[in-house]
Every structure is written in structure tokens, then in C-alpha cells.
Amino acid sequence: MLKKLEQLTLEEKIGQLIVFGFHEDHYASNIENLIKNHKLGNILLFSRNVSSSEKLFILNKNIQKAMLKYLQIPAFITADQEGGMVTRLFGDATIFPGAMAISAANNPHNAYLSGLYMADEMDALGINVNFAPVLDVNNNPLNPVIGVRSYSDRPEVVSEYANQYISGLQSKVIATAKHFPGHGDTHVDSHLDLPHVDFGKQRLHEMELYPFKKAIKNNLKAVMGAHIVYQDITNGMPATLSKEALTDLLRGELGFTGLVFTDGMEMKAILNRYGAVESAVPAILAGANLLLYCHHEDQQIAAAKVIKEAVLDGTLPLEVLNERVARILKYKAELNLDIVKQDYQDVKPRVGNKIHREFAQNILNQALTLVKGKPFKAQGKTLFISQSPQATTFADLTDGKSNTIEILKDVLPQFDYYQAQINPTADEINKLKDMALKYDQIVLTSYNSNVFKNQIKLLKELVQTKKELHVISLRNPYDHYLVPEIENYVCLYEYTANSVNTLKDYLLGKIKPKGKLPINV
């Protein structure tokens, strides 16, 4: 039997509010210490914790067994498993497509199936909360952190695809819509600093809040708050620490009754201005149920300590604490705990199986989008210029196995290849321009030119050669917006093993672009 609220000690109640990360890929003594002695009750997994699906299964099984042994309450085991470049499960798990690739394939049912299949693999491995989908409307082409993590720059499209995804995902895990009230129209990455948004409340309701309103009506179970100041709503504070945002707006106006997670409290938007530990109590008072402390054990322990002190001195009323914890326990009572009595062989057929992998690859094939010009057809001498996959935000991850040139050179030996820097130097740009003059065709992959701005210079120089140039975007589909002189422009929306397979088949002439651009450029 799981413990009920009235059976919990003060320390156990506080521990239910903390979601902690760690650095090991196995159940270690430091994890047991945080559970047994500090009563911390929830886990956040990163790629550093995932060396194989089998080891992850064993880790999560041991975590849940420890939670039940020491606390008599299961853990929320959480991860940022958005798909595409924001993926935590590699190896033998399926690499599912990201949001914009799914919407580019132009069938909302694909979003449902992506959520359904992803939930099956996460549940099999013991993960019960997914910090996805992104409900941000990416209406700022220069947004440094969202981009293809969003379904579209139109709120109705974001809503349509996100609700399909939520319905599929919540078949087996809790979906968490982020980043409330919206991170789509910012110029600052909240991992690095505190963004400010100064448009009015009416615009917020019409644009940013539209997908959240629809998702709440679709039985959304969790929301993640954003570390962003909204001048007309949050009274000068980031939404994470704002009662006006998390209680008055989210719970009051929008009627949300589920769980509220903070974003990572060690992100610089909070850490540098308010303090990660010092913000624990303000976040709870604002309306948060669960606080993410992702990286540092000392901060995880200190956060629990300051919350206890706030309860004892009355800063955090006990009835507020009880309300936050009761909502957590309500959802934990519904968790699937089969993992504690299973072995990996019991769940292995659900992880990275043929149906899931073929589905993921087919979505990328369908997403391939010709934005301008003509499809590629090999003729004459061809130079292929590309970069290694790069993490452009703190949420990104690369699998290290998706290098375009390494994959293409064996199947297209007639091409010549050049591995460029992600942000080429002036000397490299001049070298590539001179090289290009010796070829009939140039194929160049671009990768977030708004971040790596020397790519723009390279693109412009290659355009001036008057050679047949084909640009293939492997991330945000805005590079044509930055260099409108590009004549042939194709989008793939992500740099993953599946997208490189799609690129290979496209260059071989096996597939043609069928995708529909989900944004305006």
C-alpha cells in the first residue's frame, strides 16, 4: 500500500516536491542517500544516465524499488524525450522525429502515433513522465532555443498536432506541455539568461496561450513553466516564480488541474538573478508542484532544507505544502509499477522494434520539403559540403553516429566531400568558394545559420559562383529567409540518423520531397 498524505512526515512531503538529476548510469550510493536519508522522491534522466536500454531499465527498476522501500511512494521518473534533436534515449531505442518534422509530413495522425509508440518505449524502460510536447508557437524565426522543437509558427497548427501527440503519449505516460505561457517569441535562451516578453495580454491569449487552452481541454496532465518575464502578466518576475502566471492565469483563468513542473532551477535565467536554491519557496508559493534540480547534489539537499525552514517559520503555509503534495500523490497513485517485478527481457520487444523504427524513418521521408527551386538530380561533378551534428541549445543532444559525410561517401562515391566547420572561418569560406568553381554542382547542408552566422557568409559566396547550388537545411528551416538568393532549398528539420538516411535516398533519387513547410519564410 502506498502512503497517504496524512502518513507523511514533513521531510517526506518536501521530498515529493523535488525532482533530482545525477551523473551515473547505474544505481549508486549517492542516489540511495538522496532517497533514503533526504527523502527526495523524483528523478530526471539525461543522456548521461543512458548507456544502453537494458542498463536504463535496471537503473529505473532499482530506483522504484528504493522509493517503495524507503518512502512507500513511487517516483516520477522524467525525461526530455521530445524527439528529433531533443532525445534522451539512444542506442537500441527508436529515435523518434521532432515536432516540426512531424508537422511537415502533413498528417496529424502521425503525431498521435509518435506519442503512442514513444510512450510504449518509455513505459517499457520505466519512464513515466515526458517533458513534451513543446507547445511554444515559434513565431520568431531568430528564436535561439525553440525552432524545430515547435510544430509551427501558427497556434492552430501547434494545437492540432500537439493534442494528437498528447493523446498518444498519455496512453502510458504523463505528457508535460511546455514552456508556459510560451517561449516561441523570445530572442534569449533561458538556459543562458532571462528573456523578457513585452507584448500585451490579448496577444498572449490569441497566440501563445491558444495551444495550452486546447491541451487543457484535452486532459493534459502536466505543464512546465517558463523562466521568462511577461510584462503584462508576471509583475516583473519570471513565470516560474509568478503567482499571477501559475495560479491566477494557469489554474484560475485556464482551469488547469494537473501538475506544474518548473523548468530547471539551475538554468541561468533563475540561477544568476534569483538563486537556484533561494527560488525554491517562491516557486512553490507561485503554484509549482515539482521543482527541477538537475545537476548538483548540494543544491538538491539545500533546496529541501530551505523549504523545511520556510514551513517551520510560516513563510510557506503547511496547507499550501499539503495541497501541492496531494496533487502529486493523486497522479502517483495511477502510475504503472510493473517494472519492479519485470526483467529486461520482458520489455525488450517493445524497445526499438521494427514497427517503431520504420514509422520514424517514414516520417522523415515524408517530411522532406522542397521550399524553392528544383529537386536535386546528380549531373557532372558534385561537391558535397557538410558539418558534424552540433548541439545548438542546452536541450539538444547528438548521437555521434549521424555524420552525413561518413554515411554518404560509401553510397555516393562519385561525389567529392568537404567537412566544414559549423561556423567556418574567412579562410575556409574563401577555400570553399575556390573549390566550388571546379564543380558543376554544389550540395551544402546548412545548420542554424542564425546562430552560426558565418554560414550565411559561406552561402552568399557560393551563390555568387553561379554554380548549381542545392542547400539542404538540417535544422531550423529559416536559412532561405536569411539568404533569399538561394535558388534550390530543401528542409529536413533535424540532424539525426533517420534524417541522414532520408538525405541519402534523396540524393540517390529514390525519394522526392513531399513535405509541407509548417512555417512562413
Catalytic sites, residue numbers:
191, 263
Closest CA to 334 of 225, 222, 256, 251: 222
Q: What are phi and psi of 72, to 5 degrees?
A: 60, 30
Could you give the angle at which helices 426-436 and 454-464 cross, rounded to 10 degrees?
20
CA distance 266 to 250: 23
- Can you read off the three cell numbers belonging to residue 184? 516561441
DSSP-assigned letters across all residues of 220-257:
--EEEE-S-EETTTSTTSBGGG-HIIIIIIIIIIS---
Burial of 305 (0-12, 13-18, 19+ CB in 10 A): middle
**Structural contact between residues 58 and 85, judged by C-beta atoms closer than 8 angstroms:** no
Q: Which H or E run includes 366?
A: helix 354-367
Cis peptide before 108 (omega within 30 of 0): no
DSSP label of 2: P
**Structural contact between residues 154 and 137, judged by C-beta atoms closer than 8 angstroms:** yes
CA distance 519 to 521: 7
**Structural contact between residues 371 and 517, judged by C-beta atoms closer than 8 angstroms:** yes
CA distance 460 to 464: 6
HSE (side-chain half, CA atoms, 13 Å) at 377: 3
Q: Which H or E run includes 111?
A: helix 108-124
DSSP-assigned letters across all residues of 414-467:
TSEEEE--SS--HHHHHHHHHHHTT-SEEEEEE--TTTSTHHHHHHHHHHHTTS
Q: What is the dihedral of CA 50, 52, 56, 59, to 10 degrees?
A: -100
Closest CA to 10 of 369, 307, 394: 307
Q: What is the dihedral of CA 178, 179, 185, 191, to 10 degrees?
A: -120
Which residues share a beta bridge with 281? none
Strands 369-372 and 488-491: antiparallel
Q: What are phi and psi of 223, to 5 degrees?
A: -135, 145
CA distance 94 to 354: 9
Residue with cell 567537412: 419
